[in-house]
Amino acid sequence: MVAALALALASGCGGATPPRPTEPWQRVLPPGATHALYLYPEVIERYAPDDAGGYLVHAPAGADGAARAALIASLAPPDPDDVVRDGVVVRLDAAGRDALAGRADVGAVEVLQPADRLGFLWDQDAAVAEVRVDLFVGASDDERDAVAAWLEGRGAVVVWRGPAALRARVPQDAIRDLARLGPVRWVE
C-alpha cells in the first residue's frame, strides 16, 4: 500500500496541480489610457496571443538579389526603413505570422527584438533625452495614446503626436523599456 502511494506521488498523481508558468510579458493599462499595452521582456520569445507582434522576414538562405527584391516587393513595406539587415519588418498576428512563414519565398520569420528597435541618435548622456517614437504601420490611435500615457507615467513629456509617431522628452531609464512595448517599431 505504501509502495503504491509512493509510486502515485512520484508519477504526478498526487492530486496537486503544478503551478501554471507565468507569461513572459506584462499587460499594462497606463493611467488615463483606454487601451492596454504589452510590455515584453528584453528578449522576446513569443508575443501574447491577442497582440500583433513585430517580425523580421527573411528570404531563404542562398536566395539571390532578385529573389530578395521580389520578397521585399511582395511585402510592400510602406517605409524604406522597414528593410533591415536583408529582411523586412512587419507587424502580424499569430495567424498572419504562420501564413507568412509557410510561404516558399520566405526563409525565416524572426521576432523583432527590443534591441533592434533602438537607434543611437538620442543623447545617451543626458538625464532626459528627446526621442522620436515610431509605431508599427496600422497602429491605432488608442495604441498611440496608450504609449503616450505610458511615457507620461514614466516621467516623460510628450511634445508631439502624429498618426503613428510621438516625440517626447524621456528619462534615460525609460527609453530602453519603451522599445519593449508591443506597438513600438523604432525609438531614436
Would you kindly state where each structural domain of the chain is located, as residue ranges?
53-112, 117-187
Q: Is the pLDDT score of 5 beyond 80? A: no
* pLDDT of res. 6: 46
Provide the CATH topology of domain 117-187: Alpha-Beta Plaits (3.30.70)
Which has more confidence, 123 or 135?
135
* Tens of pLDDT, residues 99-126: 999 999 999 999 999 999 998 888 888 9
What's the mean pLDDT when you consider all of the chain? 89
Closest CA to 179 of 79, 42, 56: 42
* Tens of pLDDT, residues 51-85: 999 999 999 999 998 999 999 999 988 877 778 77
Output the CA–CA distances (angstroms, integers) from residue 125 to 118, 151, 174, in the order listed.
16, 19, 14
- pTM equals 0.85
* pLDDT of res. 4: 47
Confidence label for 8 from pLDDT (cuts 50, 70 and 90): very low
